[in-house]
Amino acid sequence: MARTKLYTGIYVALFVIATMQVGVEQIGLLENSYLLALGLITALSLIKAVMVAGYFQHLVWEPRSVTYVMLLGFVGFLALTVAASYSIQ
């Protein structure tokens, strides 16, 4: 039963964070400050990714190299996003 409560709590937290991401987009931060909105959405996405990887994909018990592959993917995402932001502005 404790696992069910933990997973339900994580699900609710993921739902709240996803709602916050939509809120960042809806309140107009994208028009006023693109970099602020990008930073907020990226930070919230990172939190969600860590929660999903840590609790639902059981990354804790995987070899450390799998964690490094995940981090490499995130660095790639950041590089592509920064490169794309220069072409948008």
Q: How confident is the model at residue 60 (pLDDT cuts 50, 70, 90)?
A: low
**Higher pLDDT residue, 83 or 31?**
83
The residues, any chain, with a CB within 8 Å of residue 10's CB and separated by 6 or more, are: 51, 55, 56
In this predicted model, what pLDDT tens digit does every residue of 30-50 receive, in sequence order? Answer: 667 777 888 888 899 989 988
- Using the structure block, give the residue that is written with the tokens 């995130």: 74
Q: Nearest CA to 40 among 30, 51, 54, 53?
A: 30
Please give the model's pTM, rounded to 2 decimal places: 0.63
DSSP secondary structure string for all residues of 50-61: HHIIIIIS-GGG
Q: What is the pLDDT of residue 89?
A: 56
* Structure-block tokens of residue 50: 């860590």
What are the helix (H) ranges across the chain? 2-26, 29-32, 34-51, 64-88
